[in-house]
Amino acid sequence: MEKISYKDAGVDIDAGNSFVEAIKDDVKSTFDENVIGGIGSFAGAYALPKGYKEPVLLSATDGVGTKLKLAIESHRLNSVGIDLVAMCVNDLICNFATPMFFLDYYATGKLVSADAKDVVSGIAKGCKEAECALIGGETAEMPGMYSEGDFDLAGFAVGVAEREEIDRVSKVKPGQKLLALPSSGIHSNGYSLVRKLFFDKLGYNLDTEFDNKPLIDTLLTPTRIYVKEFKKFKDKIVALAHITGGGIVENLPRVLPQNIKAVIKEDSIKRVPIFEFMSNYIQKDEMLRTFNMGVGMIMIVNEQDVDEIVSKSDAYLIGELKEGDRSVEFV
């Protein structure tokens, strides 16, 4: 019997090594003074930033969901890496953690170096926007696990916070105001429903015109990263809620005490066209508990800080906190 190799089984070690070389510049472009060593070691090393009295490390992990399927089908792979970073770092800042570094996991049936490089380029862009370093990752070539052309992504972010600043719920009081930071669109949640509506029910394709451009442009708009806003207004933010799957109705209560409810003026929410359109085909309650509806992050702030934050950002007032059972009430 003729002897076989790993490459015969579908795994090309040389291609993997070439890919690592190809992404080095993108990865290094995210490095800051705390990164120790370079790419290619067994683990990424990062020095704990100075200036913290009682530093605590926080971590977050996430993926891109079935938005990734649209990126693969359209072969537009340079933005889903931004989504990957955003979904992780936006969670970190809700616990007042400043993102430090990021790692990615890229799994595929057969490694196509150019495609993987596009993905990592997007991850590097996301890391620079989030002001964190991409210090490592893993590329897994697994023939038989994924069909040809398919791949999956996972991301892992680590941040640092003062121990005394992590608990935001205890600082939330009645009378505080709710400021919305707009989303860039659908972000990275609810895409199974999006795909069901547009492609199965309505019969659209990726190039169908929507809002004066191909539909795929809207669907692949990257998730907005809110790290810079967090850093800018950190001393004025009481609490933050990242509005992801579950919408406002499920995510905002996560930062509320048991005896406080959020009262939101529904008409004040600045919806983007994609949500207005989908609302014609999806029940209102389903829209509210699946999508961000145009609000990517909610700041809870004291009344005296509202004007300054609004004047120095694109945040806007959508409601306030009142006494009541922990919930979200739209009026």
The tokens describing 82, both together, are 């931004």
Residue 264 contacts by C-beta under 8 Å, 6 or more apart in sequence? 178, 248, 318, 319, 328, 329, 330, 331
- pLDDT band for position 68 (cuts 50, 70, 90): very high
Note the pLDDT of residue 16: 73
Cα dihedral 129, 86, 233, 96 in deg (nearest 10): -120
265-309 pLDDT, tens digit per residue, is: 999 999 889 999 999 999 999 999 999 999 999 999 999 999 999
Instruction: Report, as an integer, the average pLDDT of 162-188.
Output: 97
Q: Which residue pairs from 303-310 have beta carbons closer than 8 angstroms and sit at least 24 positions apart in sequence?
A: 303/175, 303/176, 303/177, 305/236, 306/177, 306/179, 308/236, 309/179, 309/233, 309/236, 310/179
Q: What SS3 state is found at 323?
A: strand
Confidence of residue 39 (pLDDT cuts 50, 70, 90): confident
Cα separation, 20 vs 311, whole angstroms: 44
The CA distance from 331 to 319, in Å, is: 9
Q: Which helix (H) or strand (E) holds 105?
A: strand 98-108
Residue 18 binned pLDDT confidence (cut-offs 50, 70, 90): confident
pLDDT surpassing 90 at residue 48: yes
> β-strand 133-141 against 35-36: which pairing, if any?
unpaired
> Residue 47: what pLDDT?
94
How many distinct helices (H) and strands (E) make up the chain?
Answer: 12, 14
Predicted confidence band at 5 (pLDDT cuts at 50, 70, 90)? low
Q: Is 283 exposed, middle or buried (0-12, 13-18, 19+ CB in 10 A)?
A: exposed
How much is the pLDDT for 149? 85
pTM: 0.94
pLDDT of 99: 98
Mean pLDDT across the chain: 94
Look up residue 266 and give its DSSP letter.
G
Mean pLDDT of 115-136: 96
CA gap 252, 299 in Å, rounded: 10
Cβ atoms 121, 78 nearer than 8 A: yes
| Distance between CA atoms of residues 50 and 98, nearest Å | 13
